């Protein structure tokens, strides 16, 4: 496992907990949504938060067990990219829109706020390899379940799943475990049931 060293001095503030605690909750597509600095950049995302996220993910996940990382291009894509760079692994992202490249594969998905298709390119070169999914949030778990199904359908083994945060309101982590057999890892769990979010557990 890689050892990531903080580059912003001694971390006396828990930036991850701070990012998901006492944050404003608004309605999006009829469901409660927590506005936070990691995925919405409100308030603006601090480099200390990113460093803490990457450092802690690298500790709880054995990235040496995988050939590459997979993320989803929307809010969590840059977290996957930063993690891949930090641990020295290649990565790819599932896309919301088709590129039309030869060999592109597709699967439908549904999460708390929207639904559509996920597309992945370069799948032929990835067949037979092992992947770790790196995401921002676990909500209903729908997007991650679709990603696992897409990878497995194309002869790619998913050896682990990690997200920065789990939103407890929709039991997404339990769904992922039930439908994929993989227990997802995360750094913090929080609730968005009230006007401000509340951290339930910090790993």
Domain ranges of the chain: 15-202
- Phi, psi of 91, deg, nearest 5: -145, 160
CA atoms of 142 and 22, how far apart (whole Å): 26
Reported CATH class of domain 15-202: alpha beta
DSSP letter assigned to residue 29: T
Q: Which residue has the tokens 């997007």?
A: 143
Q: What is the chain's pLDDT, residue by residue, as a tens digit (203 residues)? A: 444 444 555 568 999 999 999 999 999 888 899 999 999 999 999 999 999 999 999 999 999 999 999 999 988 999 999 999 999 999 999 998 999 999 999 988 877 667 789 999 999 899 999 999 999 999 999 999 999 999 999 999 999 999 999 999 999 999 999 999 999 999 999 999 999 999 999 99
What count of Cα atoms within 13 Å lies in the side-chain half-sphere of residue 120? 27
CA atoms of 26 and 29, how far apart (whole Å): 10
CA atoms of 13 and 27, how far apart (whole Å): 29
Q: Which residue has the tokens 């790196």?
A: 134
Helix, strand, or coil (residue 169)? helix
pTM of the prediction? 0.92
- Distances in Å between the Cα of 29 and the Cα atoms of 32, 95, 108, 112 are 8, 21, 19, 8
């Amino acid at each position: 496992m890689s050892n990531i060293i903080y580059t912003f001095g001694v971390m006396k503030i828990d930036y991850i907990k701070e990012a998901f605690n006492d944050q404003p909750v608004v309605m999006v597509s009829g469901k409660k949504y927590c506005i936070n600095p990691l995925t919405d950049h409100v308030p603006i995302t601090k480099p200390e938060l990113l460093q803490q996220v990457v450092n802690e993910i690298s500790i709880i996940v054995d990235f040496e067990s995988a050939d590459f990382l997979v993320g989803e291009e929307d809010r969590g894509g840059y977290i996957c990219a930063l993690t891949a760079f930090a641990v020295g692994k290649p990565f790819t992202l599932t896309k919301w829109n088709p590129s039309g490249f030869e060999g592109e594969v597709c699967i439908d998905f549904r999460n708390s706020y929207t639904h559509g298709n996920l597309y992945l390119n370069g799948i032929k070169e990835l067949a037979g390899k092992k992947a770790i999914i790196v995401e921002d949030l676990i909500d209903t778990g729908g997007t991650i379940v679709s990603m696992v199904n897409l990878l497995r359908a194309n002869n790619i083994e998913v050896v682990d799943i990690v997200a920065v945060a789990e939103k407890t309101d929709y039991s997404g982590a339990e769904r992922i475990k039930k439908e994929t057999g993989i227990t997802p890892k995360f750094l913090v769990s929080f609730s968005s049931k009230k006007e401000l979010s509340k951290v339930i557990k910090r790993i």
